[in-house]
C-alpha cells in the first residue's frame, strides 16, 4: 500500500508544480509559498480537530526541525520551477531520493552500503547531461545560481523526508507531522511576502487555491507512504512524477523534451534504482 501512496503523492505534486509555475507568471515565489502554507495550515488544523488528535505531538524538536527544513526547501523548489522548464526542474529536484538515502543512513541508521557515493556521482552526472554539458559545450545555457538553487532544494527535501520518517518511527501521527510543515512555513514566509505583496487576479487566486489543494493531497499520501515504507524505498517510487511533469510541461508550457533530458533523467533514475538494490543487499 505504501507504494500506491507514493505514486498518488507524485501525481498530486505534479499538478501542484503546474499550478505553481502558472502562479509564478504573476507572483513572486515567496508569496506563493506563503499562500500555499496558509491554505494547508487551515486544512490540516481542521483535519486534526476532526480526528481529535493531540495537536503538538510528543517529539517537538524533531517536528520543529521538520517544519523549518521543509519550509526552506519549499522556497528553493518553487524558485527552481520558475527558473527551469517544468520537466528540468522536476528531474533535478528528483536528486532528493539520493540525499534522502544519505541522510537516512546518518540519522536513522538505514543501511545503504558503499554504492551510495557512486549513486550520488551518477545522479549529478545526469543533471550535467540535462544541462547540455556546461563548460564543455559552448552552446550550453548554464546559470550557476539556478543550478545551486535547484540542488539545495533537492538536498533539503531529502533531509525533510527523512525527518518525516524519523517522526513516524517515534509514533507521531501523520497529521501532526503534516501540521508542523505549514505551521512554520506561514510565519517564516509572511514578512517577505508582505513587503513584496502583489494583489493576485481572480484567476490566480483560483490557481493558488489549487496549489494548496494539490499540496494537501500530495502531502497526505506522502506522509502515509513514508509511514509504510523505509525512507530509502519510498522516495524512488515518486520518480514517476518526472514523466508526469514532462508530459504536462510539453502540453501546457510547450517545453521541448531533448535527448539530453531523456538520457540524463534515465541516468538519475538508474542511480535511484542502484540505491534501492543497495538497500536490499547492503555491502
Overall domain count for the chain? 1
Domain region containing 17 = 2-280
pLDDT at 3: 79
- Integer Cα distance of 225 and 5 in angstroms: 5
- Residue 148 CA from chain centroid, whole number: 15
Using an 8 Å Cβ cutoff, are 70 and 181 in contact? yes
Q: How many CB atoms lie within 10 A of CB 194?
A: 11
* pLDDT at res. 283: 36
What is the pLDDT tens value at each position of the chain, 283 positions in all?
A: 777 888 888 899 999 999 999 999 999 999 999 999 998 899 889 988 888 888 888 888 999 999 999 999 999 999 999 998 888 888 888 888 778 878 887 777 666 666 777 887 888 888 888 877 766 666 666 678 888 999 999 999 989 988 988 888 888 888 888 899 999 999 999 999 999 899 999 999 999 999 989 988 887 887 777 677 775 566 567 777 888 888 888 889 888 888 888 898 888 888 877 776 655 443 3
DSSP E strands in 146-269: the ranges are: none
C-alpha–C-alpha distance, residues 198 and 35, integer Å: 12
Q: Are 104 and 72 in contact (CB under 8 A)?
A: no
- The pLDDT assigned to 278 comes to 57
Residue 143 CA neighbour count, 13 Å, CB half: 7
Rounded alpha-carbon distances, angstroms, from residue 97 to 88, 155, 164, 235: 16, 9, 14, 5
Amino acid at each position: 500500500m505504501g507504494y500506491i501512496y507514493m505514486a498518488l503523492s507524485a501525481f498530486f505534486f505534479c499538478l501542484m508544480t503546474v499550478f505553481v509555475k502558472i502562479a509564478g507568471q504573476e507572483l513572486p515565489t515567496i508569496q506563493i509559498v506563503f499562500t500555499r502554507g496558509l491554505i494547508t495550515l487551515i486544512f490540516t488544523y481542521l483535519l486534526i480537530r476532526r480526528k481529535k488528535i493531540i495537536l503538538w505531538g510528543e517529539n517537538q524538536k524533531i517536528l520543529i526541525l521538520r517544519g523549518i527544513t521543509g519550509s526552506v526547501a519549499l522556497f528553493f523548489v518553487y524558485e527552481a520551477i520558475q527558473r527551469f522548464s517544468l520537466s528540468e526542474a522536476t528531474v533535478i529536484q528528483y536528486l532528493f531520493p539520493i540525499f534522502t538515502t544519505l541522510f537516512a543512513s546518518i540519522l536513522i541508521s538505514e543501511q545503504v552500503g558503499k554504492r551510495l557515493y557512486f549513486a550520488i556521482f551518477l545522479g549529478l552526472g545526469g543533471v550535467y547531461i540535462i544541462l547540455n554539458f556546461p563548460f564543455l559545450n559552448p552552446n550550453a545555457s548554464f546559470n550557476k545560481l539556478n543550478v545551486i538553487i535547484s540542488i539545495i532544494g533537492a538536498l533539503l527535501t531529502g533531509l525533510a523526508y527523512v525527518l518525516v520518517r524519523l517522526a513516524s518511527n517515534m509514533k507521531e501521527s501523520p497529521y501532526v507531522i503534516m501540521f508542523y510543515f505549514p505551521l512554520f512555513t506561514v510565519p517564516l514566509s509572511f514578512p517577505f511576502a508582505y513587503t513584496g505583496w502583489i494583489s493576485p487576479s481572480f484567476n490566480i487566486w483560483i490557481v493558488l487555491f489549487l496549489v494548496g489543494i494539490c499540496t494537501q493531497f500530495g502531502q497526505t499520501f506522502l506522509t502515509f507512504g513514508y509511514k509504510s515504507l523505509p525512507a530509502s524505498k519510498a522516495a524512488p517510487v515518486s520518480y514517476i512524477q518526472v514523466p508526469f511533469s514532462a508530459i504536462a510541461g510539453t502540453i501546457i508550457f510547450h517545453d521541448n523534451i531533448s535527448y539530453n533530458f531523456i538520457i540524463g533523467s534515465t541516468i538519475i533514475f538508474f542511480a535511484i534504482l542502484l540505491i534501492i538494490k543497495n538497500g536490499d543487499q547492503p555491502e
